[in-house]
Each structure stands twice: as C-alpha cells, then as structure tokens.
C-alpha cells in the first residue's frame, strides 16, 4: 500500500514538472541584427601616362643618367647596394635599368627602377653619379612614376656632392603617390651650381612605409638650353 502510494505521489510530482500544453511558452528571442561593416575601398592606381613621351630634347641633352646607372654609387646611407640589384633581394634597397620594351612603352626610353630599403633603420636609396660640370642653361629633367600596379608612396629628390665631398640637398622634394598621374620635372641646376663640378645624386625616400615603393625615373637627364649665355654687362 505504501509502495503504491509512493508511486502515485511520484507520478503527481512528475506531472507537476511537465508544463501544460495550454500554457504559452515564451517565444525564442530573435537574434540581434548583424551589420556588415562597409569596406574601406583602396583607390586604384591611375593608368600611368607612359603614352606621353618625354620632352623632345635629345638634340640638347648633354647627359643621360640611365645608361650610366652602374657607374653610380648606390647606397641606403648605411651600406652600398649592388648594381644592378639582385632579383628578389630588396631589403637593403634595389636599383635596375629598365627599357621601353620591358615597360611596353610606345616610345624609346631608358628607365631607372629604384626601391628604397625595405628593412632596418634605412628608408631611402641614393645613387651618386660621376662628377660633371654644371653650365649655364642646364636643367634636370625626368618623369616620375610608380611601377604599374604598385601602391607606392615616396618622395623623389635630387642632391649633390661638391668638389670637397660635402653633401647638399638644396632642391625641392617631389612627393609622389600612386593615386597621382606622373610628374614631369624640369628644374634649373645652374641657379645654384653654375660653373661647379659636382656629383649629382638621385634620391628616393619612403614615406613611413616602404612596402610597394617601386619608384621609376623615366629618362633622367641634363638638358642644356641652346643659345643661353652669360649676360654682357
């Protein structure tokens, strides 16, 4: 009897624990809405205007830097860099001569590829060329680019060593970002250097991030304006 009562009592307790089907159950909470962040779009580099040929000044160009690339001394201000650079080794910086064929240019041109140091405390590349005398009417000319598809952000510059070996960089800097079109540089050298024998130095510095800094100089050269002479007093 006690056993039957105990079973009966246990059944009552179990039935009390089972919710009645007539009792509404709380609805499952709806999942919170998820918002996908709008991606930040990186600007695509413009198509380089390589179709625009350099100024037609061959008749009055007195010096081309590119063919002399490996007669220059290349460094990152801490160590020398081989010329031409070794493929795949760009940590210390890299320099090489490219041609219109390699860049698929629609005109003849020599191009310098200069990559500033990618590692260590140095974030630049310097190319110091053989000494030459700057004369009245001498201009430095080049077109500045990044290699196609490289998202570079650099500053091009021009410096020089005087006859005593002291370095100067008195000329304007030319910042360049891959989102821009090419820069045409036509800068007078004779204003400061007329009559001096100097070693001109091509410089590229990264702008705090060296990744992708494949900087290009198209036909860097010295152009001498014809017919320019010292004014007669």
Q: Kindly list the domain boundaries of the chain, sorted by start residue.
A: 60-224
pLDDT score at 187: 95
pTM: 0.76
pLDDT score at 9: 36
What secondary structure, in 3-state letters, does the chain show?
CHHHHHHHHHHHHHHHHCCCCCCCCCCCCCCCCCCCCCCCCCCCCCCCCCCCCCCCCHHHEEEECHHHHHHCEEECCCCECCCCCCCCCCCCCEEEEEECCCCCCCCCCEEEEEECCCCCCCCEEEEECCCEECCCCEEEEEEEEECCCCCCEEEEEEEEECCCCCEECCCCCEEEECCCCCEEEEEECHHHHCCCEEEEEEEEEECCCCCCCCEEEEEEEEEECCCCCCCCC
Q: Is pLDDT of 82 > 70?
A: yes
Structure confidence by residue, pLDDT tens digits, 146-191: 888 888 999 999 999 999 999 999 999 999 999 988 899 999 999 9
Per the model's pLDDT, the better-predicted residue between 53 and 78 turns out to be: 78
pLDDT score at 233: 55
Report the range of poorest mean pLDDT among 11-25, 102-116, 125-139: 11-25
- Label residue 54 by pLDDT band (50, 70, 90): low
Report the range of poorest mean pLDDT among 39-43, 57-61, 88-92, 192-196: 39-43
Average pLDDT, the chain: 79
Could you name the CATH architecture of 60-224? Sandwich (2.60)
- Label residue 40 by pLDDT band (50, 70, 90): very low
Query: What token pair was written down for 103?
Result: 């860049």
- Label residue 49 by pLDDT band (50, 70, 90): low
Q: Is pLDDT of 232 > 60?
A: no
pLDDT score at 158: 97
Q: Is pLDDT of 39 > 80?
A: no
> Is the distance from CB of 83 to CB of 70 less than 8 angstroms?
yes
Q: Is pLDDT of 52 > 70?
A: no
- Label residue 120 by pLDDT band (50, 70, 90): confident
Report the relative pairing of strands 183-188 and 197-206 from DSSP bridges.
unpaired
- Label residue 69 by pLDDT band (50, 70, 90): very high
């Amino acid at each position: 009897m006690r056993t039957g009562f105990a079973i009966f009592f246990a059944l009552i307790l179990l039935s009390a624990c089972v919710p009645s089907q007539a009792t509404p159950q709380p609805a499952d909470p709806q999942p919170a809405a998820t918002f996908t962040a709008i991606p930040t779009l990186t600007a695509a580099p413009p198509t380089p205007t390589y179709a625009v040929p350099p100024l037609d000044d061959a008749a009055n160009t007195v010096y081309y830097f590119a063919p002399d690339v490996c007669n220059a001394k290349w460094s990152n201000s801490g160590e020398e860099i081989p010329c031409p650079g070794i493929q795949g080794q760009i940590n210390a910086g890299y320099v090489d001569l490219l041609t219109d064929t390699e860049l698929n240019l629609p005109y003849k041109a020599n191009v310098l590829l200069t990559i500033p140091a990618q590692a260590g405390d140095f974030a630049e590349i310097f190319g110091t060329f053989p000494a030459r005398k700057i004369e009245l009417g001498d201009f430095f000319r080049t077109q500045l680019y990044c290699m196609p598809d490289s998202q570079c952000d650099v500053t091009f510059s021009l410096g020089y060593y005087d006859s005593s070996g002291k370095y100067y960089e008195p000329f304007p800097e030319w910042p360049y970002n891959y989102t821009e079109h090419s820069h045409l540089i036509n800068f007078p050298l004779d204003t400061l250097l007329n009559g001096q024998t100097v070693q001109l130095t091509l410089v590229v510095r990264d702008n705090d991030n060296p990744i992708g800094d494949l900087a290009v100089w198209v036909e860097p050269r010295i152009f001498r304006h014809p017919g320019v002479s010292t004014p007669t007093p």
